[in-house]
Amino acid sequence: MMSIPQNSLYLMGTVFVLLLIASGVSFMFTVRNPDSDYTELRQRIQSWWVMIGILFTVLLASKGVAITFFAFLSFLMLKEFLSIVPTRMTDRRAIFWAYAAIPVQYFWVYVEWYGMFIIFVPIFLVLILPMRMVLVGETRGFIRSAGVLTWTTMLSIFSISHIAFLMVLPVKNEAAGYMGLVLFILFMTQFNDVCQYVWGKKFGKHKIIPKVSPNKTWEGFLGGFFTITVCASLVAPLLTPLSFLQGAGAGALIGFSGFIGDVVISSVKRDLQIKDSGNLIPGHGGVLDRLDSLTYTAPLFFHYVYYLHY
């Protein structure tokens, strides 16, 4: 049986306890207020049980299984993105190469080839896709289509693949193992979203970007920002090679960039006049709705850790 690193095991146990508490609170609300509709809340919690169960299972299986899982997430995210943004019929050949780039990018992760990992999408793929579109010979709508396709591949493939590469970095915190950095960025990013939501609901009065996300407030952003900065400083030494102060820096980075990732995708959905990017995850919407903050936090956290310790 695989031995789970002590600190990673503690975090997993903490997450399960939090889910049990959330399930208990949801049940209590339903019993006390039978006339109220808590369907969405129940769906959200049930979906979290499924998502956390799948995540922990693949992380514990092996690095290869986990890398394949994140590659599949990139595929789902790209597919969902391309299903909501406008594309031309003539773009289908270029779109094929965008999908084909997913296994290539994650192959660089698997073989731990950092040089190709860091340049394949932002240089080679970003240059190849418009070239393939040019060969079709259709110029009407070219600029928009080229921008949409290259940007979606950057977010769906390049950004998310940074989570996978965290697992193949040399382990510098034995108590956390190869999954420590991944657990840290995933947990802190999602916790940041929750903190900003709770602070905003409780104290939010001043809108921060009302035309993009009317529910976002300065109180929610700042409350979540400082909460995640403190929490990250405490958790970082347990799961990462970061010190207390470096962990605070990581928390500040996650707090700010997580907010930006969230509102950037909100801008996309508002532009397209849709509420959710999909309906794959009950109570949450689509994959893009759940990973929006990670499109910014994952690459920025990766390079923050890489610069300080690798």
Concatenated DSSP letters of 146-195 = HHHHHHHHIIIIIIHHHHHHHHHSPPS-TTTGGGHHHHHHHHHHHHHHHH
Percent of the chain with pLDDT over 90: 69
Query: Does pLDDT of 284 surpass 70?
Result: no
* Distance in angstroms (rounded) separating the CA atoms of residues 220 and 200: 4
pLDDT in tens, 198-208: 898 888 888 99
Query: Does pLDDT of 2 surpass 60?
Result: no
Q: Look up residue 122 and give its DSSP letter.
A: I
The pLDDT, as a whole number, for residue 25 is: 83
- Which tokens hold the place of 208? 């921060």
Of the pLDDT bands very low, low, confident and very high (cuts 50, 70, 90), residue 223 is: very high
The pTM of this model reads 0.93
When pLDDT is averaged across residues 269-274 and rounded to a whole number, the result is 87
Q: Which of 187-191, 192-196, 275-279 has the lowest mean pLDDT?
A: 275-279
pLDDT in tens, 34-75: 777 767 778 888 888 999 999 999 999 999 999 999 999 999
The pLDDT, as a whole number, for residue 29 is: 76
Q: Is 276 exposed, middle or buried (0-12, 13-18, 19+ CB in 10 A)?
A: middle
Provide φ and ψ at 296, rounded to 5°: -105, -45
SS3 285: strand
Q: Which of 32-46, 71-85, 191-205, 265-279 has the lowest mean pLDDT?
A: 32-46
Query: 23-56 burial string, b = 16+ CB within 10 Å, else e?
Result: eeebeeeeeeeeeeeeeebbebbebbeeebeebb
The pLDDT, as a whole number, for residue 1 is: 43
* Distance in angstroms (rounded) separating the CA atoms of residues 121 and 123: 6
- Domain chopping of the chain, boundaries: 63-168
